[in-house]
């Protein structure tokens, strides 16, 4: 059984020319794919099983991520059901030289744990240990409720 902070994963993608749309910014489909991949890793870290995407809640692209810059993606599990894991995902436009960030996307994905036969399988409860876990969970629940 993992704690919320143990499911926290952060990854970066440098925006290359083949990642961009006609406007020289990261193609939204690429950002969604990267979020989905990192979210699944976060869910699997908790479940100890393969996890597949079941639902995406409000994926709004607020700002572009220009070619040459970095898209930083943060994911963490914040709530579980019987076979499901809810993961908050945030994407940021990050300056590669300074690390300065501006949030571009905030979304909530639901993943389902599956067994070797592709059938849903139960997941353990997610533990909330310490202030950081509480802050992450509370921020996710408040953001999801606001959608």
The pLDDT tens digits of the residues spanning 12-61 come to 999 999 999 999 999 999 999 999 999 999 999 999 999 999 999 988 89
* pLDDT score at 28: 94
Model confidence at 147: pLDDT above 80: no
Residue 121, pLDDT score: 97
pLDDT tens by residue, 66-95: 999 999 999 999 999 999 999 999 999 999
Q: Which helix (H) or strand (E) holds 73?
A: strand 70-80
- Domains annotated for the chain, with CATH where assigned, are 4-145 (3.10.129.10)
The model's pTM: 0.93
Lowest mean pLDDT segment, chosen from 25-34, 100-109, 129-138:
129-138
Q: Which residues of 78-93 are buried (b: 16+ CB within 10 A; e: fewer)?
A: bbbeebbbbbbbbbbb
Q: How far, in Å, CA of 111 to CA of 44, rounded? A: 9
Give the C-alpha separation, 42 to 89, whole Å.
10
Confidence of residue 1 (pLDDT cuts 50, 70, 90): low
């Amino acid at each position: 059984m993992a704690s919320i902070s143990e499911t926290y994963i952060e990854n970066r993608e440098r925006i290359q020319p083949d990642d961009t749309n006609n406007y020289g910014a990261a193609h939204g489909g690429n950002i969604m794919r990267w979020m989905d991949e990192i979210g699944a890793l976060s869910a699997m870290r908790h479940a100890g099983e393969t996890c597949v995407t079941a639902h995406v809640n409000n994926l709004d692209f607020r700002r572009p991520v220009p070619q040459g810059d970095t898209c930083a993606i943060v994911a963490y599990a914040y709530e579980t059901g019987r076979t499901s894991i809810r993961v908050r995902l945030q994407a940021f436009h990050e300056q590669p030289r300074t690390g300065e960030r501006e949030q571009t996307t905030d979304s909530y994905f639901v993943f389902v744990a599956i067994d070797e036969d592709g059938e849903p399988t139960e997941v353990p409860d997610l533990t909330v240990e310490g202030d950081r876990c509480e802050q992450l969970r509370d921020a996710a629940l408040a953001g999801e409720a606001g959608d």
